Amino acid sequence: MIHRSPFPAQFRRRLSIAFVVVAGISAGALALGAAIWVHSYRTNAFHERSRAHARDDVQLLAAGAPPEVVAGRLADAETPGGPGVIVVTGGALIRSVETLGLGDLPAGMRDTVRRQPGQLVEGTTELRTGAALVIGALDEVTGAEVYFFFSRVELDRSNRELHLALAVGWGIVVAVAGIAGTVIARQALRPVRTAADAARSVAEGLLDTRLPVRSEDEFGEWAASFNEMVAALEHKIDALAIARDREQQFAADIAHELRTPIAAVLTAASHLAEHDATAPEQVAEIAQIVAASARRLDRLTSELLELHRLRAGQEILQVEEVDLVAAVGHAVRAHGWAALVAIDAADPTLVVATDRRRLDRIVVNLVSNAVHHGGPPISIRVARAHDGAWLTVTDSGPGIPPEEIARIFDRHYKSSRHRASAAGGSGLGLSIALESAQRLGGTLEVTSSEGRGTTFTLWLPELAPAGPDG
């Protein structure tokens, strides 16, 4: 099964967020610039119109028009509640709107107007109807003061509507950018997801996996390169598999062919050993060396053939109910290790369904490795697991260096403690134990600390897998 990691989704999310951020900043900058420009344009236009209006009325007053006419003209021209005018002349106050008074002028404005006759003076004030622009002037001819009140309510309202419209537009742009970014990111990263799934399929051994080449862009070139890589990898693996099979078959053939001459040499060496009492001392010594070497070579060929049958799947399992504690004890006693090995059984009635012969082979190989290459005390612990059974073989020997742990189950590999031992060995015992454990559907692992010993842990399932015979 292919398990999807969260990384692509997170990357897609980050890409969508980046798309939204860029669109948001761009749209926000554009909206802010538009708001500032339109606000400035409207405000300047409002001020220009107000100044022009005030200038015309001041000129009308300077031409001799009565103040009442000027005030009435402005009052007739404006809508109710709109701008108004106050004319101060000869101590009289003439106003177009009854609610207006000199108290509505900005502070200090009258003094400024009096100091600058003939010039327009601007200020802002807050009326009951809202904010207003105030423009004052002193007519140099008549000496009359004229103050114009232009309401900013409509200008401010239109500016607020503009700002609200821009803000809503910005929000819509960000939302659309989020949706578009998600869709675009999903579409853009779909080839990446497909490639990741294909890579996981290849890692699981599905070497016929290929990516579809749908375009001639970078993704298409990537897919074509991926397909070429997988094809080359498939070819290399097939070649390695063929070479491995040939190597195993070659080793098995050699081991099989050697059994007959080895048996003959072993028989001859045994015959010489039986008559070593009458043979010269040198001949008897040679006969013992030949007999020992022949026995070792015979054991090596037998182990090579056994390992070949296991890896080729030619070993037929005979599954039966096995008393695990009794089987371990029988294997230890049969090889004369009862005095060297302590058996600790948390559950003395632990029964598993497995192949007795394969189980015995695993136990013998592990205990033999502990006896010959480890060190006392040696213990075997058997315990029930929630889904099977555990069996550990622990010795108190020199341990295995960390750099050798990864290769401890390799064929013919001899660790430093193995090479330091005088017991010798073919280097196939642990390989056979591992292959046997896997054949039974279990696992075999090793942990070790230099100077503190080594522990091999065998796990067996509750039910052993069926063999080639079903």
**Is 362 part of any domain?**
yes
Clarify whether residues 261 and 363 are in a common domain: no
Q: Residue 261 belongs to what domain range?
A: 219-311
113: left (phi over 0), alpha (psi -120 to 50) or beta: alpha
Last residue of a domain, one of 311, 336, 368: 311
pLDDT in tens, 101-133: 888 888 888 889 888 888 899 998 888 878 889
pLDDT one-digit tens code per residue, 263-309: 676 676 666 666 655 556 666 676 667 766 666 666 666 656 666 66
How distant, in Å, are the alpha carbons of 155, 300, 348, 429 from that of 425? 101, 9, 33, 8
Write down which residue in 116, 145, 160 finishes a domain.
160
Q: Residue 68 is part of a domain; what is its CATH number?
A: 3.30.450.20
Domain end residue (candidates: 292, 311, 330)? 311
CATH number of the domain enclosing 333 = 3.30.565.10
170 domain-assigned = no
Pair 244, 146 in one domain: no
Q: 79 or 73: whose pLDDT is higher?
A: 73
pLDDT digits over 442-456, tens only?
899 999 888 888 999
Does residue 172 sit within a domain? no
Does a structural domain hold residue 213? no
DSSP-derived letter for residue 401 is: -
Tokens representing 378?
């040696």
Q: Same structural domain for residues 298 and 329?
A: no
Domain membership flag for residue 199: no
Q: How far apart are CA 349 and CA 334, in angstroms?
A: 21
Q: Would 306 be classed as within a structural domain?
A: yes
- What does R_g of the chain's alpha carbons equal in angstroms? 51
Number of domains in the chain: 3
Per-residue pLDDT of 220-246, as tens digits, reads 787 888 888 888 888 888 888 777 677
Let me know whether 447 and 421 are in one domain.
yes
DSSP characters over 407-451: TTTSTT---HHHHH-SS---S-HHHHHHHHHHHTT-EEEEEEETT
Looking at the fold, whether 41 and 107 belong to one and the same domain comes out as yes
User: Is the domain of 13 the same as that of 155?
Assistant: yes
> What does 51-97 look like in DSSP terms, one character per residue?
HHHHHHHHHHHHTT--HHHHHHHHHHHSPTTS-EEEEEETTEEEESS
Q: Are residues 449 and 307 in the same domain?
A: no
438 and 326 within one domain? yes
- Cα dihedral 361, 367, 369, 373 in deg (nearest 10): -170
**DSSP-derived secondary structure for 270-291:** HHHHHTTTTS-HHHHHHHHHHH
Is the overall model pTM greater than 0.75, yes or no?
no
The least confident of 161-165, 192-196, 311-315, 352-356 is 311-315
The residue assigned the tokens 């119109």 is 49
